[in-house]
Chain A
Amino acid sequence: MSLAVASGGPARRPRYRLRRSLTRAASVTLGVALVIWTVMPVYNMVLIALDSDADEYSGNIWPPDPSFESFRVIWTEGYWYLENFWHQFGNSIFIGLMTMVLTVFIGSLASFALGRMRLRRRWLLSNAALLTYVLPASFLAIPFVHIAHRYGLSDSLWAVIAAEVMFATPYAILIFQQYGRLIPFELDDAARVDGASPVQVYLHIYLPLMAPALVAVGTYALLLAWNEYLYQFLLLSSTKSMTVAVALDQFFDSDEAPWNYMMSTAIVYSLPPIAIYYALRRYMMTGLTMGGVRA
């Protein structure tokens, strides 16, 4: 740009400056529009949560009398929809952690066998993984629920964990295989010459060097399980086995539930994933780009 100014000479300078300030004005306008666009629904959530009475049609655009009463009600489980809130919060955490552990475990073993040991006909499994990855979740939901009943997993957290693991593993395998390319095969070879078994190569070479990918995929699986709604809604029915996502839907279905409690529940439920996203922003971005955009 500065080069263009120099060659254009002084006569062209005012036009150039005009163009630059126009560009600048346009990008500021776009920026402001993006802020409003992004923040408006979130602001509405906070607005309702801080409202002290439960009337949703107050028509306020500013909380007239902000109070944290509804958050206190959640903390003390002081409303009948929220009676088991912390138990349900625990269920969500349990499902998330189990999904994370199982996905990383199953995915890393499979990607080691496929990517490092290179079995013949491995494309069959890679394709199966890819096909699961593109399968729309809601299309599989109806037969999945029937099968979960058949396995004796009605109203069981394990049915949900199985569903989440099945959706997270293909992504895990794809990412692990891509990332594994960065680890020199000579390392495996040297270990084998020294008499290491595949298990030892997996434990002492593969896993430690794959740490960044394990973290990225583990986080992905955790958040997937925490945020997923449809399978939890269809598979969990009793209040004791519900997750926060399903509890939120109960509020939604009811006609006279206090909306401020619902929105504060929604906020409490959103805080862990938001914290993780922002804390691990760089890792999440690596997870995105690792697939090969960076080639």
Chain B
Amino acid sequence: MSSTQQVLAVGRPVAVNHPWRPVWPGGLHGSEYSWAIAFLIPYVAVFLAFVAYPVAYGLWMGSKPELYADLAADPLYLRTVVNTLLYVGIGVNVKMFLAFLLSGFFMSRSRWIKALLILYMLPWALPAIPAFLAVHWMLVGQWGFLNSLLSALFGIDGPIWFNSYWLALGANIVADIWKWMPFWTLIFLAGRTAIPQDIYDAADVDGATGVRRFAHVTFPLLANLYLVCTLLATLWMFGDFTTVYFVSGGAPARSTEVLATLGIHEAFDFAAPQLGVATVMSALPLLIPLVIVLMRKVHTMEVQL
């Protein structure tokens, strides 16, 4: 999904109601039942018209086996797959790990750290395009802002960032981390605040402090949240088009494209929509297991509600 994502945050489930007890006593009467159906009609209509139909259509578009043979023979596609794995694999893990550590830092009660948190939120509040335009312009050419800064402060001539594969790929990853780390930090911060103080007090009495407190108290309590957030972040980063499109734009010479940008380019710039669909759909074998694990994690909570 794009920009302002919110997360369906998951913690330890609480059993509030017994799952299958009818909430309206006596069940639904005849007319109430019709009303319930009527209330669902707008959602079901939107779902069928704008989710189910496009999904089915997409599956049909990408169903020809020749498409995948074409892709497998295309060196650009193979390179893109490697890029996507690096981009998502490094990006998600670094982002989530740093966000988790920083959420601990922001737990501090001191006033300047609280003020810092407000500033730190800024990349999250910024829409994606201005954010990535700014990062792109910071690195572009010989005299982007970063190189000017390096030369003014240290007298170093910076590299031409988008001429090097690794630097360009790194720029994409760093841009994504810059934009989304604040959001995940806030999620983990909320998770940490939800841990009752008496658990820490008990750990204190047992002599667990510092690293041991983190390893035996904080992390186990937040492990489920961490897992769900990592899965969500992975899914979103796989589908992320804007970062790569604006930051490196595939430079140098289309070598840093990811599946999302390659698929869109093929479909709309090279008029090969079926190939574009096949390109993005080739990620499904990897995504479906993630979705299943995620749905299960969230579903156990749903049933408990």
Contacts and interface: CB of A to CB of B under 8 A. Distances in A.
Interface of A: 27, 30-31, 34-35, 37-45, 47-48, 56-61, 105-107, 109-110, 112-114, 116-119, 123, 125-128, 130-147, 151, 162-163, 165-167, 169, 171, 173-175, 177-178, 181, 185, 188-189, 192, 197-199, 202, 220, 223-224, 226-230, 234, 245, 248-249, 252, 259, 262-263, 266-267, 269-270, 273-274, 277-278, 281, 285, 287-289, 291-295
Given A229-B129, A293-B194, 15 more contacts: A31-B113, A38-B123, A42-B126, A119-B36, A125-B44, A130-B295, A130-B299, A137-B239, A138-B260, A141-B241, A142-B273, A223-B3, A266-B130, A288-B187, A294-B194
Contacts of A31: 112-113, 116
B4 A220 contact: yes
A43 to B, nearest CB: 8
B68 interface: no
Contacts of B2: 137, 167, 224, 227-230
Contacts of B67: none
Interface of B: 1-4, 6-14, 16-17, 22-25, 28, 31-32, 35-37, 39-40, 42-44, 46-47, 49-51, 53-55, 57-58, 61, 102, 105, 108, 112-113, 116, 118-131, 133-135, 137-138, 140-149, 151-152, 178, 182, 186-187, 190-191, 194, 225, 232, 235-236, 238-242, 246, 260, 263-264, 267-268, 273, 276-277, 280-281, 283, 287, 291, 294-295, 298-299, 301-303, 305
Contacts of B277: 142-143
A116 to B, nearest CB: 6
20 contacts: A45-B137, A47-B145, A59-B151, A114-B40, A119-B37, A131-B291, A136-B235, A136-B287, A139-B281, A147-B57, A199-B35, A224-B2, A224-B3, A229-B242, A230-B2, A263-B134, A266-B130, A267-B130, A287-B6, A293-B191
B47 A289 contact: no
Contacts of A278: 118, 121, 125
Contacts of B43: 106-107, 109-110, 125, 169, 173
A145 B134 CA distance: 29
Nearest to B4: A223
Given A117-B24, A143-B57, A277 B125 contact: yes
B135 A41 contact: yes
Nearest to A112: B39
Given A171-B8, A287-B6, A27 B24 contact: no
A185 B7 CA distance: 27
A34 to B, nearest CB: 6
B248 to A, nearest CB: 13
A291 B39 contact: no
Nearest to B190: A289
Closest 5 CB pairs of A and B: A136-B239, A227-B3, A143-B58, A277-B125, A291-B9
B228 to A, nearest CB: 10
Nearest to B175: A41
Candidate in A112, A169, A197, A291 with the most chain B CB atoms within 10 angstroms: A291
Contacts of A267: 130
Given A109-B39, A144-B54, A273-B126, A138 B239 contact: yes
A162 B50 contact: yes
Contacts of A48: 137
B51 A61 contact: no
Contacts of B31: 197
Contacts of B126: 42, 270, 273-274
A293 B190 contact: yes
Given A136-B287, A294-B194, A127 B295 contact: yes
A102 to B, nearest CB: 8
Contacts of A60: 148
B44 to A, nearest CB: 7
A144 B117 CA distance: 38
A259 B137 contact: yes
Contact of A189 (B25, B119, B242): B25
Contacts of A289: 9, 190, 194
Contacts of B152: 61
